[in-house]
């Protein structure tokens, strides 16, 4: 099915690895020019941009600190100039720094909030300035089911993910009159390299929570992102869509 995205321009934050790279490549397969934001994975980001180019689209890798608004603003301007426009923003960049609350340091709290929540504000605001004026745009913020239910030893992460949901709902109200859709995706556990750092007993417990008996792949998330960025989803905004195999329920 043609999603009607050919010729659109997109930014995917945290687009060099894992879910972000799958989203970037999924959009490129739909005909979208894609810029990936990254901070540490230089080689991987360049590889994703090269794969986008191989798919016949413009690819761009931009090193930027999502926690700095100036970086977000500069990247948006750079992408508009390179692609001739910006139509899609997918915020995906995020970190974890786990500890129970009585052991969590102020630095752990501040770092996670700065990247996961302030980083989303920075890119949502910078993109909204463009979308509002052109009266068109699609914003998809990648949250987590843990932003809905909380998670032991993840007060900072869960709070940031819950904040992303509140941010998305608020922006949907503010930007709807400008023909801008803002939605949130809340994955459960996803099969990425990051999962390898999770002890097997925790993986087994998470798998038991699902009703489908499997974890999502990054491509599962990417398919949902592409749909929400298309005009097939033009009447969907302010929603939080779980993609978790029934893990939340």
Question: Which amino acids are annotated catalytic?
Answer: 157
Taking phi over 0 as left and psi of -120 to 50 as alpha, with beta for the rest, 43 belongs to alpha
Compute the distance between CA of residue 150 and CA of residue 21 in angstroms, rounded to an integer. Answer: 26
Compute the distance between CA of residue 123 and CA of residue 83 in angstroms, rounded to an integer. Answer: 17
The two three-digit tokens of residue 114, written as one number: 């700065």
Closest residue by Cα to residue 188 from 140, 249, 144: 144
Residue 95 burial class via C-beta count within 10 angstroms: exposed 0-12, middle 13-18, buried 19 and up? middle
Other beta carbons less than 10 A from residue 153's beta carbon: 14
Residues in the chain, how many? 249
């Amino acid at each position: 099915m043609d999603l009607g995205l050919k010729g659109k321009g997109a930014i995917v934050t945290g687009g060099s690895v894992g879910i972000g790279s799958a989203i970037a490549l999924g959009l490129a397969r739909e005909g979208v020019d894609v810029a990936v934001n990254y901070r540490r994975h230089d080689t991987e980001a360049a590889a994703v941009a090269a794969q986008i180019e191989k798919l016949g689209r413009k690819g761009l890798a931009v090193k930027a600190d999502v926690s700095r608004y100036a970086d977000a603003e500069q990247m948006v301007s750079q992408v508009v100039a390179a692609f001739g426009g910006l139509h899609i923003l997918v915020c995906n960049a995020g970190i974890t720094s786990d500890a129970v609350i009585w052991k969590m340091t102020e630095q752990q709290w501040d770092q996670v909030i700065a990247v996961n929540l302030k980083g989303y504000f920075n890119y949502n605001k910078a993109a909204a300035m463009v979308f509002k004026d052109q009266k068109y745009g699609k914003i998809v913020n990648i949250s987590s089911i843990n932003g809905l239910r909380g998670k032991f030893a993840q007060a900072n992460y869960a709070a940031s993910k819950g904040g992303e949901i509140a941010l998305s709902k608020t922006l949907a109200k503010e930007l709807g009159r400008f023909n801008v859709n803002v939605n949130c995706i809340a994955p459960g556990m996803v099969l990425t390299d990051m999962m390898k750092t999770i002890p097997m007993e925790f993986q087994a417990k998470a798998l038991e929570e699902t009703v489908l008996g499997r974890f999502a792949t990054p491509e599962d998330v990417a398919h949902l992102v592409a749909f929400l960025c298309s005009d097939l989803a033009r009447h969907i905004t302010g929603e939080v869509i779980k993609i978790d195999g029934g893990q939340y329920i």
